[in-house]
Amino acid sequence: MASNSAVDIIETSSKVHFSGFHQMDGLVSIISDQLAEEEEHGQPFVIGVAGGAASGKTTVCDMIMQQLHDQRAVVVNQVLECDLFRFLKIQLQETSKLCVYINMMVINLVLILHHVVVYADADVRLARRIKRDTVEKGRDIATILDQYSKFVKPAFEDFILPTKKYADIIIPRGGDNHVAIDLIVQHIHTKLGQHDLCKIYPNLYVIQSTFQIRGMHTLIRDSKTTKHDFIFYSDRLIRLVVEHGLGHLPFTEKQVVTPTGSVYSGVDFCKRLCGVSVIRSGESMENALRACCKGIKIGKILIHREGDNGQQLIYEKLPSDISERHVLLLDPILGTGNSAVQAIRLLISKGVPESNIIFLNLISAPQGVNVVCKKFPRIKIVTSEIDIGLNVEFRVVPGMGEFGDRYFGTDDE
């Protein structure tokens, strides 16, 4: 089994149906051409649709695919080919080769995955099974009922029903539940629309792009934009990034009494919080943080660039109890990642848990994201856009130039 490629197994299997491709011819060459370039970055996004026999799993999957209209999505229907699915599972867990072309799989199965459970009343499922097996398979009702009582019903109660409590989503009424299916479709669209780096690093968050955000990026990236407009629209973007970053902080549930005498169940903000700005560009983000978090403590770090890659810590002033706080690290540009690495190492040396650090910036270069996420996989990075990369001078492109100079008005010097 291990000697065969995933594509060979896919093409030769007669018991598994693949939806989402216009044609299978040439699929091997497509994957082979892309494998070398994309193998490192291909990450699977899998939705397992489970449920009892005749609960509506196939109907739900078909409806999802009809609404998606995306060739990157594929449905794999499990029938009896258990060896194939064991192989697919290994491929999904241990390599990215399977998903170089198949970016997203909606798997219709009974036992392997339990992310989504399609639930239908037992009487409804039995009635559907009788109708299906008599019409499609030519079985008599006595045989169907005997098989149901001896095998199908006990197996469902022993192996499938207990997994319901672990499901991320439960869809009552199967294909009749259009609201649940629409939500799943929207979630898949969001996943497919994510930057590839977000699929590789679950701790990387890019705020959802809108025409307003794209418009503000267009203005601050334009070399002809005035200083006044650059500051104004940078501040707006920074505020959005800060708000998004605050959404990743832990919270506790809290109930309050409203002026109407009613009880509102909400959440309480994280109290142990501070900001740390990387001088000097990071200081441009302090006002937005203060506007969102009244009275917040803000520390400072100065890192001097030495040549192309070297960084030297020059100055630091941090809250004395920073080890007990969640830290929002502020720097509008993530380029090579070297300054960020120095700053994060300093915070960790002061006793700040890696998972308590949220790094906020406006734009990120893929190289910097790779460096930071690989060295510190438990921190969170929140950004508003990921750019193409770095030029020969290690500047982010297309970028927006020297952010600090443009923001503080020293670019003329």
**150-201 residue pLDDT tens:** 888 888 888 777 777 777 788 888 888 888 888 888 777 766 666 678 778 8
pLDDT of 286 reads: 93
pLDDT of 95 reads: 39
pLDDT of 40 reads: 43
* pTM of the complete model beyond 0.75: no
More confident residue, 263 or 70: 263
pLDDT of 170 reads: 82
Give per-residue pLDDT as tens, 295-338.
899 999 998 765 555 567 778 899 999 999 999 999 999 998 98
Percent of the chain with pLDDT over 90: 35
pLDDT at 29 over 80: no
pLDDT at 261 over 70: yes
pLDDT of 188 reads: 75
Give per-residue pLDDT as tens, 339-357.
899 999 999 999 999 999 9
Phi, psi of 28 (to 5 degrees): -60, -45
pLDDT band at 383 (very low <50, low <70, confident <90, very high): very high
Beta bridge partners of residue 334, listed in sequence order:
364
Q: How many CA atoms lie within 13 A of 398 on its CB side?
A: 7
Query: CA Rg, the chain, in Å?
Result: 26
Give per-residue pLDDT as tens, 287-304.
999 999 988 999 999 987
